[in-house]
Amino acid sequence: MSNLAEQFNNPTAYQQPQGGGVLAQASSSREMEEVKGQIFMAKSYPRNYFEAEKRIQDACKRPSLAGTSMYAYNRGATKVEGASIRLAEVLAQNWGNLSYGIQELEQREGESVAKAFCWDLETNVRQEKVFTVKHVRSARGNLIPLKDPRDIYERVASDGARRLRACILGVIPGDVVEMAIEQCRLTLSGQSDKPLKERVSGALAHFKEKYGVTQEMIEDRFGYSASSFSEFDLVQLTNIRNSIKDGMSIVEDWFNKDIGKNQSSALGEDFKAQTEPKTEVKPDAPNDIPIEQPELPLE
Of 71, 113, 75, nearest in space to 230 by CA: 71
293: DSSP letter: P
Helix (H, G, I), strand (E, B) or coil at 106: strand
**Cα separation, 119 vs 96, whole angstroms:** 11
Q: What b/e readout covers 51-77, taking b as 16+ CB neighbours within 10 angstroms?
A: ebbebbbebbeeeebbbbbbbbeeeee
Give the number of other CB atoms < 10 A from CB of residue 219.
18
Tell me the CA distances in angstroms from 143 to 146, 147, 157, one per residue in order. 9, 13, 18
**Cα separation, 31 vs 238, whole angstroms:** 46
**Cα separation, 216 vs 225, whole angstroms:** 9
Which helix (H) or strand (E) covers residue 116, if one does? strand 111-120
Residues of the chain with pLDDT below 70 are: 1-20, 73-74, 76-77, 191-193, 246, 260-299
Phi, psi of 10 (to 5 degrees): -130, 90
Largest CA distance in the chain: 159
Task: Give the gyration radius of the chain's Cα atoms.
Answer: 33
Q: 49-53 long-range CB contacts below 8 Å, 24 or more apart?
A: 52/94, 52/95, 52/96, 53/176, 53/179
> How far from chain centre, in Å, is Cα 133?
17
**Cα separation, 286 vs 279, whole angstroms:** 15
The pLDDT of residue 8 is 38
**Cα separation, 232 vs 83, whole angstroms:** 11
Which helix (H) or strand (E) covers residue 129, if one does? strand 125-134
The pLDDT of residue 223 is 85
Q: 142-145 and 78-83: which strand pairing?
A: unpaired
225-247 pLDDT, tens digit each: 888 888 888 888 887 887 787 67
The pLDDT of residue 74 is 66
The pLDDT of residue 228 is 85
**Cα separation, 7 vs 122, whole angstroms:** 49
Domain boundaries, the chain: 22-185, 192-270
